[in-house]
Amino acid sequence: MRKTWKMRAAALLLTAVCTVGASFAAYADDVPSGPASDMELIQRREQASGSQNEAGDAQTAAGSENHAGAAEGQQTTENQETGNNGQTASETQGTEQGDSQVPDGMVASGGRYIDPNAPMVALTFDDGPYAPVGNRIMDCAEQYGGRVTFYVVGNRVNSYKSEIQRMYANGHEIGNHTQDHKYLQKLGAQEIRQQVEACNQAVAAITGEAPKTVRLPGGGKNSTVLANISQPIVLWNVDTLDWKTRNAASSVQTVLNQVKDGSVVLMHELYNASGDAAVTIIPALVERGYQLVTVSELAQFRGGLAGGTVYYSFHK
């Protein structure tokens, strides 16, 4: 009897070891070659671990929203969306009290004031939403009176509705990064339009408003791409290569060495290292006198945006 029990235990132990080994081997085979493949890998891991559970996402976002509300004295995201038509508490208060409450030379936007004549930078984060990183970025930006832009992939937004709602309610900008992160220069006209429109609809279904600008996956474009996108196309002039280095210190150094008034900085929302970099970059830029603004805010004070036009930066 003991011998039979020992044989069964050994068999169970061998099965467990093989299963764990197979799991590690499966991950080892996922060697990403860029943001697109990274995103696919993360999606598979999310599905396997259940990290896309909406209740967990809502809990994460709610905690971050409470943190942001305590820092800025704002209402909760739910109250902002229901009672203020997407405006933050500060925006609503400013509207009710009139322009006399706006400091001289300042413009009310995104729940705070912007000085059009002071240096400003747009930090942008591609390939999300991904709440574990995105909420950290928003927490830090809001703490320092800044707002950022998230270029989201349409097929991910329903998995992170609470994060999308927070972006919109708190004055961050949501940009279009296509529905499936396909490289548009490899597609025909109809599929290009479908990729952009599907992402527009996915975001609008949650926020009630479609993204104003588009970012091309990989920045890839040709005449067909440009002829079939009617929204302004915003690329970047400071590339951290964070998807490649996965190194926060490298991203921080790149931004602080290259940033100028009017720069558009490219980072990605998928990586913890990018979140680590962002929470260092944000206070460092504020300390240098930069205002952290969205792409549309930056463009507003630097000549505006035109449909179908490609922009890399908004220098004076």
* Catalytic pick among 172, 177, 181, 268: 268
Percent of the chain exceeding pLDDT 70 equals: 68
Catalytic residue among 38, 126, 242, 276: 126
Q: Does 126 have pLDDT greater than 50?
A: yes
Establish if 1 belongs to a structural domain. Answer: no
Distance CA 277, CA 23 (A): 30
pLDDT value at 85 more than 80: no
In the predicted model, is pLDDT for residue 34 greater than 90?
Answer: no
Distance in angstroms (rounded) separating the CA atoms of residues 194 and 232: 17
pTM of the model: 0.75
* Residue 287 within any structural domain of the chain: yes
Is there a catalytic annotation at residue 126? yes
Domain around 155: 36-89+116-311
Residue 253 has φ and ψ, to the nearest 5°, of -60, -45
CATH number, domain with residue 287: 3.20.20.370
Which burial class, exposed, middle or buried, applies to 185 when counting CB atoms under 10 A from its CB (0-12, 13-18, 19+)? middle
Q: Is residue 16 part of a domain?
A: no
Q: In 3-state terms, what secondary structure has residue 234?
A: strand
Could you report the per-residue pLDDT of 145-196, keeping only the tens digit for each?
999 999 999 999 999 999 999 999 999 999 999 999 999 999 999 999 999 9
Q: Are 284 and 309 in contact (CB under 8 A)?
A: no
User: Cα 59 to chain center, whole Å?
Assistant: 18
**Confidence at residue 103, expressed as pLDDT on a 0 to 100 scale:** 87
Residue 19 lies in a domain: no
* Percent share of the chain, pLDDT over 90: 67
**Structural domain includes residue 316:** no
Residue position matching structure tokens 């009176």: 145
- Does 94 or 196 have the greater pLDDT score? 196
- Nearest-5° Cα angle at 130, 128 to 136: 115
| Residue 17 lies inside a defined structural domain of this protein | no
Examine the residue annotation and report whether 67 is marked as an active-site residue of this protein. no
- The residue written with tokens 């991203």 in the block is 251
Q: Total structural domains in the chain?
A: 1
Q: Is the pLDDT of residue 4 over 50?
A: no
In the prediction, which pLDDT does 316 show?
87
Phi-psi region of 85 (alpha: psi -120 to 50; beta: other; left: phi over 0): left
Beta strands 107-109; 112-114: pairing state: antiparallel
More confident call, 66 vs 158? 158
Residue 124 covered by a domain: yes
237-280 residue pLDDT tens: 999 999 999 999 999 999 999 999 999 999 999 999 999 999 99
Q: Where are the beta strands (DSSP E) in the chain?
A: 107-109, 112-114, 120-128, 149-152, 173-176, 233-234, 238-239, 264-268, 291-292, 310-311
6, part of any domain: no
